[in-house]
Amino acid sequence: MEQNVILSVKNLHLEFNLRGRKLHALRGIDLDVHEGEAIAIVGESGSGKSVFTKCFMGLTDNNGTITQGSIMYNGLDLAKLKGEKDWLSIRGGEIAMIMQDPMTSLNPLKTIGAQIAEAVALHQGLKGAALKEKALQYIKDVGIADPARRYNQYPHEFSGGMRQRVVIAIALACNPKILICDEPTTALDVTIQAQILQLIKDMKAKYNLTTIFITHDLGVVANIADRVAVMYAGDIIEIGTAEDIFYDARHPYTWALLSSLPQIGVKGEDLYTIQGTAPNLFQEVHGDAFAPRNPHALKMDFVKRPPYFEVSPSHKAKTWLLDPRAPKVEPPAVLEKIRSGGLIHGNK
Amino acid sequence: MLQYLAKRFGRSIISLFIIISVVFILLRQMPIEGYFPNYEKMTDLQIQNGLEALGLNDPIPVQLGRFWVDLLHGDLGESITYRQKVPVTEIIAEKIPYSVKLGSMAIVVSLLAGIPMGAMMARYKGKWFDKFGTLFIVFIQAVPAAVYYLFIQLYGTIILDIPLMFDPSNPKSWILPVISMSLGNIAYYGMWLRRYMVDETNKDYVKLATAKGLSGNKVFFKHVFRNAFVPLIQYLPTSFLNTVIGSIYIESLYSVPGMGGLLVQVIKKSDNTMVQGIVLLYATVGVIGLLLGDILMTVIDPRISLSKKEEGR
């Protein structure tokens, strides 16, 4: 695939000020998003994955400040944008977002047609009949039958899955280059999940989008992602192609995540769980943030934060285990099942 | 929709019927002195004859039946002590224009001031305007109305250089009663609109609208404002009524020859036919206010369907 970087994050630090206490939510993240790819950011709740992508749109809460680093997009450093006026040129038109809960992300008092048309008018400058025509086109694109009738209906007349289609239509109507999908299927039931993921894939191809998925569902990741970034405690600790992560993971946290997949457990045995809790980000983290929960932790992990070690040109991880001087630690045997089970499917 | 309206209307009539009947029966329990202006000087026979003439010796159900039949003919009876032998409807017709005019003006002023105030407070939440507005609201809510009504009357008349009492022919003398009547509603609208708007601002659809690229002002007025207005709109018709009732004190204060002062006067004089006539009017306006509020609500909020359940998703 062509490695044209569309969005480049360097050493991004974000702090929240909560009643005088500092919460270090993002701790020096580096990430290059390639044009046209589907990248997934996975991690447990509180790992900072949502907050990270909100930085791209200036949607972090008011008490959050980017203290260091840069987000380069199109020659513009998004980390330096301050006023609403600057952000308006980015939001929607360059980077659009699909939110987690379709039941609440539409305005209940406006017809879905009006809500889609609002985005079209804003970003494509259409008016009157052409505007409606275009809005109807988007409704049809996202697979909603009978667009003309649906145009004048209100959100409460749609099911959850249909509403998420409307939300996707709104995002598309903004005509963005990057589409951030913040857990787009979490609130939907399983059968609908697959449909929505397929729809996003189709729309990605049709509108040449770069998609950034945020999810904690590794099943979703396997289904859609070209590349996977694993986040833990405000940092990306391992990044690689989907194959790299699922078949050749190197970070103990990634191993632990994969081991917890229900699909690879043995019937009748308890599911694997990661012991302990994520670190308290109010305090400064020393060494590898995962070390206290890591059965394979080295002494070094508690002292010094590991840098990225490159496994292959596409694959790198932050763990001292990859240092040439480190003892050999084999990944858990259970991960072999992923390879044989063919968890990654439907990947293009 | 029509079917629902008919049902709602029917229920309103029943409510009114019950209210009026209860008031009527309660008033019949009042001492009989009230029926005669010169009770002390009358003999027992005169009193008996008087009661007979007024039909008050009949059993209460018969009296109530007669009252309803008369009412359906537009006859509320005659005043007994307030202005003897003058039909109640005639007295009310003379007085009501003042109350309605004052009340309507007060409502317009309250809306024009209260709505922008609430919206601005929510828009600049936590800034000086919000704090100032909150101070105003707390003051109006916490201080008994009588206190600032008196202050407004005392100092307002001095500032405007007008007499203390109301004079319909002097436009300046309308100002103070209208302002006094508006204050409570301004605080009410401001407080609730601010609160509803702040609630709406934190909802997901506002985040999506922002992520769409709408500017803060557009999000605020196109999305947040309208949605926050829904719960308020239901209250609007009732608040009109409240303004008319609330004017009892203000009308007495300024000697406005309106409805509010009238109710106080006729209660003092135990003029039962007058009391039941005025209560009937207030009850009717109140019930209609609620009905209109519900109808307005369905017009503005598509989620509320008053007729039977429509086809599902």
Quick check: is A230 in a domain?
A: no
Judged on CB neighbours under 10 Å (0-12, 13-18, 19+), B19 is: middle
The whole-angstrom distance between B238's CA and the closest CA on chain A is 23
Q: What is the domain extent for residue A317?
A: 249-341
Q: What is the pLDDT of residue B243?
A: 74
- What's the per-residue H, E or C state across chain B? CHHHHHHHHHHHHHHHHHHHHHHHHHHHCCCHHHHCCCHHHCCHHHHHHHHHHHCCCCCHHHHHHHHHHHHHCCCCCECCCCCCCCEHHHHHHHHHHHHHHHHHHHHHHHHHHHHHHHHHHHHCCCCHHHHHHHHHHHHHHHCCHHHHHHHHHHHHHHHHCCCCCCCCCCCHHHHHHHHHHHHHHHHHHHHHHHHHHHHHHCCHHHHHHHHHCCCHHHHHHHHHHHHHHHHHHCCHHHHHHHHHHHHHHHHHHHCCCCHHHHHHHHHHCCCHHHHHHHHHHHHHHHHHHHHHHHHHHHHHCCCCCCCCCCCCC
Q: Is A107 on the interface with B (CB under 8 A)?
A: yes
Helix (H, G, I), strand (E, B) or coil at A111: coil
Residues B285 and B170 in one domain: yes
Spatial separation of the C-alpha atoms in residues A111 and A101, rounded to whole Å: 18
Write out residues in chain A with pLDDT < 50, as ranges: 1, 346-348
Residues A328 and A197 in one domain: no
Instruction: Compute the C-alpha angle B278/B16/B98, nearest 5°.
Output: 30
Quick check: is A234 in a domain?
A: no
> Which of residues B72, B105, B126 is at a domain's end?
B72
Q: Which residue has the tokens 């992923």?
A: A338
Quick check: is A233 in a domain?
A: no
Quick check: is B306 in a domain?
A: no
Minimal-distance CA residue of chain A relative to B208: A105
Quick check: is B45 in a domain?
A: yes
Judged on CB neighbours under 10 Å (0-12, 13-18, 19+), A284 is: exposed
Give the largest CA-CA distance in chain A: 69
The whole-angstrom distance between A88's CA and the closest CA on chain B is 5
* Residue B24, CA distances (Å) to A234, A312, B28, B97 in order: 73, 93, 6, 26
Judged on CB neighbours under 10 Å (0-12, 13-18, 19+), A22 is: middle
Helix (H, G, I), strand (E, B) or coil at A74: coil
Task: Measure the CA dihedral A281/A294/A239/A219, to 10°.
Answer: -100
Q: How far is CA A90 from the centre of its chain?
A: 18
Residues A159 and A271 in one domain: no
DSSP A91: B
Q: In what order do the strands lie in the sheet with A95-98?
A: A95-98, A178-182, A210-215, A38-42, A227-232, A235-241, A315-317, A309-312
Element spanning A11, H or E: strand A5-18
> Which of residues B38, B72, B106 is at a domain's end?
B72
Quick check: is A232 in a domain?
A: no
Residues A181 and A253 in one domain: no
Instruction: Determine, for residues B203 and A167 on separate chains, whether the beta-carbon distance falls below 8 Å.
Output: no
Quick check: is A244 in a domain?
A: no
Instruction: Determine, for residues B302 and A93 on separate chains, whether the beta-carbon distance falls below 8 Å.
Output: no
Quick check: is A290 in a domain?
A: yes
Tokens representing residue B135 in the block? 């101070």
> Which of residues B46, B72, B98 is at a domain's end?
B72
Task: Express each pLDDT in B62-119 by its tens digit.
Answer: 888 888 888 888 888 888 777 878 888 888 888 888 888 888 889 899 999 999 999 9
Amino acid at B280: L
Residues A170 and A264 in one domain: no
DSSP A325: T
Quick check: is A348 in a domain?
A: no
Instruction: Determine, for residues B213 and A158 on separate chains, whether the beta-carbon distance falls below 8 Å.
Output: no
Q: What is the domain extent for residue B178?
A: 90-300
Q: Is A163 on the interface with B (CB under 8 A)?
A: no
Tokens representing residue B138 in the block? 């707390």
Q: Which residues, numbered 205 to 234 in chain B, qualify as contacts with chain A under a Cβ-Cβ cut-off of 8 Å?
A: 205, 207-216, 222-223, 226-227, 230
Q: Which residues, numbered 188 to 207 in chain B, qualify as contacts with chain A under a Cβ-Cβ cut-off of 8 Å?
A: 203-205, 207
Instruction: Determine, for residues A104 and B204 on separate chains, whether the beta-carbon distance falls below 8 Å.
Output: yes
For B196-213, b/e burial (b = at least 16 CB within 10 A) is bbbebbebbbbbbbbbbb
Q: What is the pLDDT of residue A265?
A: 63
Instruction: Compute the C-alpha angle A325/A326/A329, nearest 5°.
Output: 145
Spatial separation of the C-alpha atoms in residues B289 and B239, rounded to whole Å: 8
Residues B63 and B162 in one domain: no
Tokens representing residue B253 in the block? 């204060």
Residues A58 and A195 in one domain: yes
Instruction: Determine, for residues A109 and B313 on separate chains, whether the beta-carbon distance falls below 8 Å.
Output: no
Spatial separation of the C-alpha atoms in residues B107 and B241, rounded to whole Å: 10
Instruction: Determine, for residues A57 and B214 on separate chains, whether the beta-carbon distance falls below 8 Å.
Output: no
> Which of residues A170, A190, A225 is at a domain's end?
A225
> Which of residues A225, A259, A278 is at a domain's end?
A225
Residues B103 and B235 in one domain: yes
* Residue B263, CA distances (Å) to A106, B79, B200 in order: 50, 13, 42
Q: What is the pLDDT of residue A281?
A: 86
Provide the phi-psi class of A37: left if phi over 0, else alpha when psi is between -120 and 50, else beta. beta
Q: Which residues of B touch A159 (CB under 8 A)?
A: 313
Residues A208 and A259 in one domain: no
Count the neighbouring beta carbons within 10 Å of the beta carbon of residue A191.
Answer: 8
Residues A273 and A171 in one domain: no
Spatial separation of the C-alpha atoms in residues B133 and B21, rounded to whole Å: 44
Judged on CB neighbours under 10 Å (0-12, 13-18, 19+), A140 is: middle
Residues B117 and B266 in one domain: yes
Number of domains in chain B: 2
Residues A153 and A300 in one domain: no
Residues B24 and B111 in one domain: no
Quick check: is B229 in a domain?
A: yes
DSSP A47: S
Residues B160 and B45 in one domain: no
Write out residues in chain B with pLDDT < 70, as ranges: 242, 244-246, 305-313
Quick check: is B309 in a domain?
A: no
Among A91, A154, A170, the residue with its CB nearest the CB of B210 is A91
CB A216 within 8 A of CB A41: no
Q: What is the pLDDT of residue A266?
A: 67
Q: What is the pLDDT of residue A205?
A: 93
Minimal-distance CA residue of chain B relative to A55: B211
Instruction: Compute the C-alpha angle A260/A264/A267, nearest 5°.
Output: 105
Quick check: is A242 in a domain?
A: no
Minimal-distance CA residue of chain A relative to B216: A84
Q: Which residues of B touch A123 (CB under 8 A)?
A: 213
Count the neighbouring beta carbons within 10 Å of the beta carbon of residue A201.
Answer: 16
For B65-88, b/e burial (b = at least 16 CB within 10 A) is eebeeeeeeeebbbbbbbbeeebb
Residues A59 and A163 in one domain: yes
Spatial separation of the C-alpha atoms in residues A261 and A247, rounded to whole Å: 14
The whole-angstrom distance between A154's CA and the closest CA on chain B is 7
Instruction: Determine, for residues B313 and A167 on separate chains, whether the beta-carbon distance falls below 8 Å.
Output: no
Instruction: Determine, for residues A110 and B223 on separate chains, whether the beta-carbon distance falls below 8 Å.
Output: yes
Residues B101 and B66 in one domain: no
Residues B116 and B43 in one domain: no
Instruction: Determine, for residues A109 and B227 on separate chains, whether the beta-carbon distance falls below 8 Å.
Output: yes
ipTM of the complex: 0.83
Q: What is the pLDDT of residue B246?
A: 56
Q: What is the pLDDT of residue A85?
A: 86
Q: What is the pLDDT of residue A278?
A: 84
Q: Which residues, numbered 69 to 98 in chain A, qualify as contacts with chain B under a Cβ-Cβ cut-off of 8 Å?
A: 84, 88, 90-93, 96-97
Torsion angles phi and psi, residue B212, rounded to 5: -65, -25
Domain of B120: which CATH number? 1.10.3720.10
Residues A188 and A285 in one domain: no
Among B208, B213, B215, the residue with its CB nearest the CB of A93 is B213
Residues A221 and A254 in one domain: no
Q: Which residue has the tokens 């944008």?
A: A81
Residues B178 and B104 in one domain: yes
Quick check: is B313 in a domain?
A: no
Q: Which residues of A touch B207 (CB under 8 A)?
A: 59, 99, 105
Instruction: Determine, for residues B205 and A91 on separate chains, whether the beta-carbon distance falls below 8 Å.
Output: no
Residues B57 and B191 in one domain: no
Number of domains in chain A: 2
The whole-angstrom distance between A321's CA and the closest CA on chain B is 41
Residues A259 and A182 in one domain: no
Q: Which residue has the tokens 């200036």?
A: A58
Residues B166 and B275 in one domain: yes
Tokens representing residue B61 in the block? 């159900």
Domain of A168: which CATH number? 3.40.50.300
Task: Express each pLDDT in A246-257 by its tens digit.
Answer: 989 999 999 988
Spatial separation of the C-alpha atoms in residues B288 and B296, rounded to whole Å: 12
Residues B58 and B123 in one domain: no
